[in-house]
Amino acid sequence: MSLFLVDSHCHLDFPDFDGERADLITRAKDNGVQRFVTISTFVSKIERLLAITREFDEVYASVGTHPHNAGEEPDVTVAQLVELSTRDKIVAIGEAGLDYHYDKAPRDVQAKVFRTHIAAARETQLPLVIHAREADEDMIAILEEESGKGAFPFILHCFSSGRALAEAGVALGGYVSFSGILTFKNSADIRAIAADVPMERLLVETDAPYLAPPPHRGKRNEPAFTRLTAEVLAEVKGVDLDTIARRTSDNFFRLFKRIEDPRTAG
What residue ranges bind Zn ion (CB under 5 A)?
Answer: 39, 95, 131, 207
Given the complex with Zn ion, which of 115 and 237 has the nearer CB atom? Answer: 115
Helices (H), 65-183: 78-84, 107-124, 136-148, 163-171
Closest to Zn ion by CB, 31 or 161: 161
Nearer to Zn ion, 179 or 234 (CB): 179
The secondary structure of residue 223, as a DSSP letter, is: G
Q: How far apart, in whole angstroms, are the C-alpha atoms of residue 225 and residue 152?
A: 30
Q: In terms of Cα–Cα distance, which of 154, 35, 44, 55 is closest to 97?
A: 154
CA 256, 257, 258: angle at the middle one, nearest 5?
95
Contact between 205 and 213 (Cβ < 8 Å): no
Q: Quick one: CA torsion of 245, 46, 80, 92, rounded to 10 degrees?
A: 0
For CA atoms 227, 219, 27, 43, the dihedral sign is positive
Looking at the Cβ atoms of 13 and 207, the one nearer to Zn ion is 207
| CB of residue 114 to Zn ion, shortest distance in Å | 12
Nearest residue to the partner Zn ion, using Cβ: 131
Report the nearest approach of Zn ion to the CB of residue 99 (Å): 8
Q: How far is the CB of 37 from Zn ion (least distance, A)?
A: 10
Shortest distance, position 131 Cβ to Zn ion, whole Å: 3
Query: Is the CB of 216 or the CB of 246 nearer to Zn ion?
Result: 216
